[in-house]
Amino acid sequence: MNDIYCAYYTKNSNITSYMVSMIHPSQSDHILEPCGGDGVFIDALLDFYPKLRIDTCDLDITAVNAMKSKYHLNQNVSVRRTDTLTDSFFDEVSNYGYYDKIIGNPPYGGWQEYNRRAELKQKYNGFYVRETYSLFLLRCVSLLKNNGVLSFIIPDTFLFLHNHKQLRKYLLEQTIIKEIAIFPSKFFPGVSFGYSNLCIITVQKTNSISEMIENSFTVIKGLKSDDDLFALSKRTKPEYLKINHLSQLEVYQNQDYAFLLSEDETCRKISKSHVTLANFAKCVTGIYCGDNKRFMAITQSDKKSLAEYTRADKSCIDYTHKTNNPVSKPKKYIPIIKGSSSTGYFRTAVEWLIEWTPSALFHYTNDKKARFQNSQYYFRLGIALPMVKSSKIKATFLHEMVFDQSIVGVFPLDNKYLLYLLAYLNSSTANKFIHTINPTANNSANYLKKIPVYIPDDNELIHINKLVNAIIETRDIDCYQSEIDDFFKSRL
């Protein structure tokens, strides 16, 4: 079921109890469940008040037929087969609001066909359409009456990912955020995201700007099990939970309206910073050849995962090539920076190669899958950061090489800051900023640009440059890293 419609049905009674408690239904409410599934939210609502008026819909005919059979004796439950995102009735009532309460678990995490994506892009112009859960949130807020309340369980990525900037702006302007509870996806049966957590967000529709400005909302983290959600439904909070209270206005004033879900000093520094990495450097993603097994090679490796890659003889590798023009025969490959590194500052991983022949370059620049992107930064001095994030970010020196799409290349606007930024991006301070701005596994250029940067004076710059040069020459990171960490901790 979830493979077709990207639906994960809510089986957890602790989750449903908490969400029903958050919308606090009254007997006169008209309630929508926009993706009914097997009716667990409806059952929980009816347990609360058996005569509640509830509308529900689903796109899956099996789910719709099952719900019609299940509730056929209850005239207060209306079941329709329709697409919530494009339904004409919802189009009409979204202009003025229709429902008192909305509760649900919208579909997420699946692929959409290009024609479907084009339809949604036209309908929801300016909003990110590749993740339907965010469109369900947008759509359903529009269906609320003024002061109506919505509670959804969805991935937490919309709170900070760059693609969801417009959704955050809409929520902050059109609703009062009531509460956000964040917890591991393993609480939810059948779901396990490596890249994000789940969250339950509860909002109240408002037409009042002053209400938004004056509002503060609760962020709950540190849940150990779904039993904690049941405790929250009874308005009791275990002592170990992390409870923060955020100003909605301050979130609105953050860059890209990002929800920095903490009250600590790190978030304050990010939100108040006037100088960021974007002021110091260009942050860009590298090449994708479109077919790694065909165009990528390695010098040597014992890793089984790399067994299908060509082992290139050194006679085929041009180590001195520094342009976007092809290599000359008999050379075929040039080195490329790809993937993560086991250390910061310098790379000790497998040496990757990329074919740089006339036919290969033609493929990179003409094939629909390939991306010869940001090619003006190939073969320049810079810094390489892996796109896939680890607990400790490891930035390495990028010495006039091509870099792969798995790498964010950081290129200082003034090369005098090259070693300084290399030190900073390997510091514990930068690591904390990066993980706060984007807690997911993704480490893309848009997030790196936002981290605060300290502007050094000449003496400070000379001092840090000496430490980095010593690391590169001796290959002894431990000897100098604590001094680098202390420097940035005292200034940022």
Q: Copy the structure tokens of residue 404.
A: 């792969």
* Residues 14-27, mean pLDDT to the nearest whole number: 93
Which DSSP state fits 427? S
* Residues 248-258, mean pLDDT to the nearest whole number: 91
The CATH T-level fold of domain 279-489 is Adenine-n6-DNA-methyltransferase TaqI; Chain A, domain 2 (3.90.220)
pLDDT at 189: 57
Residue 439 C-alpha from the chain's centroid: 7
pLDDT at 3: 43
pLDDT at 2: 43
Residue bearing tokens 């050379």: 331
* Residues 394-413, mean pLDDT to the nearest whole number: 95
Residue 24 has pLDDT above 80, yes or no: yes
Q: Which helix (H) or strand (E) holds 142?
A: helix 132-143
Alpha-carbon distance 73 to 57, whole Å? 17
Q: Which of 171, 152, 19, 32 is nearest to 90 (CA)?
A: 32
pLDDT at 415: 95
Bridge pairing between strands 99-104 and 144-155: parallel
Bridge pairing between strands 53-58 and 30-33: parallel
Query: Of 2-11, 49-58, 157-166, which gets the smallest average pLDDT?
Result: 2-11
Give me the helix-helix angle, 458-474 and 418-425, nearest 10°.
70
CB 339 within 8 A of CB 321: no
**How deeply is 269 buried, as exposed, middle or buried, from its count of CB atoms within 10 A (0-12, 13-18, 19+)?**
middle
**Region for residue 330 given its phi and psi (left: phi exceeds 0; alpha: psi -120 to 50; beta: otherwise):** alpha
pLDDT at 11: 56
Residue bearing tokens 């995201």: 193
pLDDT at 391: 80
pLDDT at 491: 93
* pLDDT-based confidence at residue 5 (cuts at 50, 70, 90): very low
pLDDT at 281: 97
* Domain boundary assignment for the chain: 2-263, 279-489
pLDDT at 30: 97
Q: Which helix (H) or strand (E) holds 214?
A: helix 209-214
CA angle, 103 then 105 then 110, to 5°? 150
* pLDDT-based confidence at residue 106 (cuts at 50, 70, 90): very high
What predicted TM-score, i.e. pTM, was given to this entire model? 0.77
Residue 353 has pLDDT above 50, yes or no: yes
* Residues 227-243, mean pLDDT to the nearest whole number: 88
Distances (CA, A) of 364 to 112, 284, 292, 329, 334: 26, 17, 11, 19, 15
Tell me what the pLDDT averaged over the chain comes to.
90
Query: Of 123-137, 140-154, 428-442, 472-486, which gets the smallest average pLDDT?
Result: 428-442
Contacts of 239 (CB under 8 A, 6+ apart): none
% of residues, the chain, pLDDT over 70: 93
At 290-337, the pLDDT tens digits run: 999 999 999 876 677 777 888 998 899 999 999 999 999 999 999 999
At 457-491, the pLDDT tens digits run: 999 999 999 999 999 999 999 999 999 999 999 99
Query: Of 55-69, 339-353, 453-467, which gets the smallest average pLDDT?
Result: 339-353
Map residue 177 onto helix, strand or coil: strand
Query: Per the CATH hierarchy, to which homologous superfamily does domain 2-263 belong?
Result: Vaccinia Virus protein VP39 (3.40.50.150)
Q: Please give the residue that has the higher pLDDT: either 298 or 190.
A: 298
Alpha-carbon distance 121 to 377, whole Å? 32
pLDDT at 388: 80
Map residue 32 onto helix, strand or coil: strand
* pLDDT-based confidence at residue 186 (cuts at 50, 70, 90): confident
CB 405 within 8 A of CB 288: yes
* pLDDT-based confidence at residue 428 (cuts at 50, 70, 90): very high
* Residues 439-461, mean pLDDT to the nearest whole number: 89
**How deeply is 436 buried, as exposed, middle or buried, from its count of CB atoms within 10 A (0-12, 13-18, 19+)?**
buried
pLDDT at 4: 42
Alpha-carbon distance 285 to 338, whole Å? 11
* pLDDT-based confidence at residue 1 (cuts at 50, 70, 90): very low
* pLDDT-based confidence at residue 165 (cuts at 50, 70, 90): very high
Contacts of 440 (CB under 8 A, 6+ apart): 157, 160, 161, 195, 196, 389
